Structure 1
Amino acid sequence: MQENWKDKHIVFFDGECGVCNFWVQWIMVRDKKDSFLFASLQSEFGQKFLSERGLETKEFNTMYLWKPDKYYLKKSQAILKITTLLGGIYKLAFLGKIIPLFISDFFYDMVSRNRMKLAAQKCFLPDKHQRSKIIEV
């Protein structure tokens, strides 16, 4: 496991979802500051994260962003924070904060419910550097 994982933002995602894996790869490519690590919700690390917070451990339809010892965000809030942390042009996504949370989460949930239909399952093969950013324990 990464020794410095507590200094990173950790993205928890559905490891069996093609759409989720696409977004993990999308973040990895744009993570120029090396701010993120990733863990599937199905992994031992992901299950521990969920159970410690009393969150659902069998349904994996929510993306979480966790900054250890500081906060965790979910759904649309997590996405907005990720884009802000990526910086550059992606910071413009902060404009999404003007949309009430119940509306942005409504659209998040709509995509989440249909994510398996939205993209064919494609195999994500990370390179060596990307593999070093995935927490497997």
Structure 2
Amino acid sequence: MPEASAAVIVFDGVCVLCNGWVGFLLRHDRAGRYRFAAMQSEAGRALLADHGLDPDDPTSFLLLEYNAARAPRASTDTDAIRRVLVGLGGVWTLAHAIALLPRGLRDAAYRRLARNRYRWFGRHAACAVPAPEHRPRFL
């Protein structure tokens, strides 16, 4: 289980867009707050299933934030994306503005992107292996 104040992001390990997102977070998460689990991994599948998401057909982005009691707060879709960006601090806290859009509208747009991610951005044959310096951040 992650340490208090840590967060876990379950992502699609073969999706080109999703891997770009993880790379962005690895570059900008200076505090090292975020850990990552590919949805194709045993840990990622278990986390998705534990939070009511189908590990074989995930159209949701899952963020688990752990508090001092190590109890996870789960967020999905655009709420999860907003919370991740805000968690980076600095200028990224402007991502709170996402909440100004109606959730149904923004989540519908996100799910359309999620359903078409392979067609629009591509797919890797297998999950990427993280660089040695990033391996401790992957479950």
Task: Give the TM-score range, shorter chain.
Answer: 0.7 to 0.9
Which residue of 2 is the match for residue 120 of structure 1?
Answer: 122
Instruction: After TM superposition, list the pairs within 5 Å mapping 1:36-51 onto structure 2.
Output: 36-51=34-49
- Which of 2, 6, 31 aligns to 2:3? It is 6
Aligned partners of 1:13 and 1:62 also within 8 Å: no
**TM-score normalized with structure 2 length:** 0.85
CA shift, 1:119, in A, is 1.9
- Which of 65, 72, 75 aligns to 1:73? It is 75
Amino acid at match of 1:117: R
Which residue of 1 is the match for residue 60 of structure 2?
Answer: 62
RMSD: 1.8
**TM-score normalized with structure 1 length:** 0.87
Amino acid at match of 1:100: P
When the two structures are aligned, how many residues end up with a matched partner? 132
CA shift, 1:125, in A, is 5.3
Deviations 1:84-114 (A, max 9, x none): 0001111111111111110110111121122
Aligned partners of 1:6 and 1:67 also within 8 Å: no
Unaligned runs of 5+ in 1: none
Identity of aligned residues (%): 27
